[in-house]
Amino acid sequence: MKPFIYLLLISLISLTLSCNNDDVEDALTKDGRFQISELAGTWEATKAQFSVNTVSVDVVEDGGTARMTVQSNGRFTMTLDPVDRNAYTVSGEMFWEEWQQTFYFAIVWDDYPDDWDTYGHTYDGTTLSFNGGADTGEYDFNNDGVMEACSIHFILVRS
């Protein structure tokens, strides 16, 4: 009986430590529903909305501007220029997160290099839209110098 238990124990440990081909890991790539390099160029926002709870601000609707410049490797810089405060710049990198054979549009913001979020998106070659849930963006809603976590919704057209 002892040899059987010993073999069973060894087998269970081996199974636990071995890799299983059915395990799916997240994969980060520039190749997804479209090539991230297709976004290279300059984009003007027709919507730059930040929302938290019942508060929502659209920088463009309020008379400000938002412009994004994207490199072919997915690196980007976005300049937001609200009417009621100084312009500021954010940057990061766009890519695809592949999970269970599905591609999710993702952004890692330079201010949080060890974390990324996935976003709903649409893209038709001339218009890019992406929106994220809670805590996918930041905005200083009361202009006190403190950024607050929020959801974002951007619609940008190639310029």
- 116-120-125-127 Cα dihedral, nearest 10 degrees: -100
Tokens found for residue 7: 């073999």
From first to last of its 159 residues, what are the pLDDT tens digits of the chain? 444 444 333 443 333 333 343 333 456 677 788 999 999 999 999 999 999 999 999 999 999 999 999 999 999 999 999 998 999 999 999 999 988 889 999 999 999 998 899 999 999 999 999 999 999 999 999 999 999 999 999 999 999
Question: Whole-angstrom Cα distance, residue 135 to residue 141?
Answer: 14
Residue 26 pLDDT = 52
Residues counted in the chain: 159
In 2-126, which ranges are E strands?
27-29, 41-52, 55-58, 65-70, 75-81, 88-99, 102-109, 117-123
Question: Whole-angstrom Cα distance, residue 103 to residue 113?
Answer: 21
Residue 31 pLDDT = 76
Give the CATH class of 25-158: mainly beta
Question: Could you tell me the residue ranges of all domains in the chain?
Answer: 25-158
